[in-house]
A and B are shown apart, each in its own frame.
Chain A
Amino acid sequence: DTEVTQTPKHLVMGMTNKKSLKCEQHMGHRAMYWYKQKAKKPPELMFVYSYEKLSINESVPSRFSPECPNSSLLNLHLHALQPEDSALYLCASSQGETANTEAFFGQGTRLTVV
C-alpha cells in the first residue's frame, strides 16, 4: 500500500475562518511534507517533519501552522488566509531514514480563499 490520504478534497474558506487540512499514511514512513502548488506551477515545499519533529520550514507565513501529532498524521492549520493562498495543497511522505528514499503524494486539497 503506497497510499497517502488527504482530507478534505476541496475547501472554500473565508479570510476570517480557521480550518485544518489533514493527511494520513500507514506505510510506516517517518518523513512527512506539505507542498503548495499554484496553477500551472510546480509544487513548492512548505514544511518537512522528520520523526515527528519539524525539520524544514521554508519561511512560510505564520497563518499556516503545521502539526504532526503522531508518525501517521500530519495537519496544516489555516487561519486568516488571503485570497492569494488559494492553491492545491499536497501532502507527501517518505521512509525517512535518509534523503535517498521515494516520496509518495496524496491527491491534494484544493483550497479557495474568498
Chain B
Amino acid sequence: GIQVEQSPPDLILQEGANSTLRCNFSDSVNNLQWFHQNPWGQLINLFYIPSGTKQNGRLSATTVATERYSLLYISSSQTTDSGVYFCAVVSGSNYKLTFGKGTLLTVNP
C-alpha cells in the first residue's frame, strides 16, 4: 500500500513564529487532506488539497502531486495551534484514507 511520511515528528515553537510541515507519499494520490487533531481527539479538516495551493487565514497548503509531496504552512502561530497535524491520502479507486504518523506541534506562550 501507499506510504505516507510526515516531518518533523515533533516541533516546538514560540508564539508568533512560522512553521512548515511536510508530507511525502510514495504513489500518485486522488485525495490528500490535512487535519488538526485537538487534545480531545477531534480531527478538524484544514485542507482538501490533492493538488495546487490553498489558503485559509494564517494557514496555507501546497501539494505538488507530480513530486509526491505536500506542505502545510502555519504563520504567526498561536497556542491554540498546538496539537497533532495529520496528512492523509487516498490512492487508487478505493476509499481508504491512509494517515501519516503526524507532527506534534507545541506552541509556547
**A108, B41: Cα distance in complex, Å:** 7
User: B71-109, CB under 8 A of A: which get 1 and which 0?
Assistant: 000000000000000101010111111111110000000
From B13-21, B42-50, B53-61, B62-70, the one touching the partner chain is: B42-50
Query: Closest A-chain residue to B104, C-beta based?
Result: A40
> Across the interface, do A100 and B42 meet the contact criterion of CB distance under 8 Å?
no
Q: Does B24 contact A (CB under 8 A)?
A: no
A57-114 residues at the B interface, CB under 8 angstroms: 88, 90, 92, 94, 96, 98-105, 107-108, 110
Q: Return chain B residues, CB-CB under 8 Å to A23.
A: none
**A108, B97: Cα distance in complex, Å:** 17
User: B28-50, CB under 8 A of A: which get 1 and which 0?
Assistant: 00110101000011110100101
> A108 to chain B: closest CB distance in Å?
5
> Across the interface, do B42 and A103 meet the contact criterion of CB distance under 8 Å?
no
Q: Does A50 contact B (CB under 8 A)?
A: yes
Q: Return chain A residues, CB-CB under 8 Å to B93.
A: 98-99
Q: Return chain B residues, CB-CB under 8 Å to A94.
A: 95
> Across the interface, do A103 and B99 meet the contact criterion of CB distance under 8 Å?
no
Q: Does A31 contact B (CB under 8 A)?
A: yes
> A23 to chain B: closest CB distance in Å?
14
> B47 to chain A: closest CB distance in Å?
9
**A90, B92: Cα distance in complex, Å:** 23
Q: Does A11 contact B (CB under 8 A)?
A: no
9 further A-B pairs in the complex, CB-CB below 8 A; given A100-B31, A103-B31: A42-B86, A42-B99, A48-B94, A48-B96, A90-B41, A98-B30, A100-B50, A102-B45, A103-B33
Q: Which residues of B contact A (CB under 8 A)?
A: 30-31, 33, 35, 40-43, 45, 48, 50, 86, 88, 90, 92-102
**Which 3 pairs across A and B sit closest by C-beta, in order of nearness?**
A42-B99, A102-B48, A105-B43
Q: List 8 A-B contacts (CB under 8 A).
A: A2-B45, A33-B95, A42-B99, A42-B101, A45-B98, A98-B93, A99-B31, A105-B43
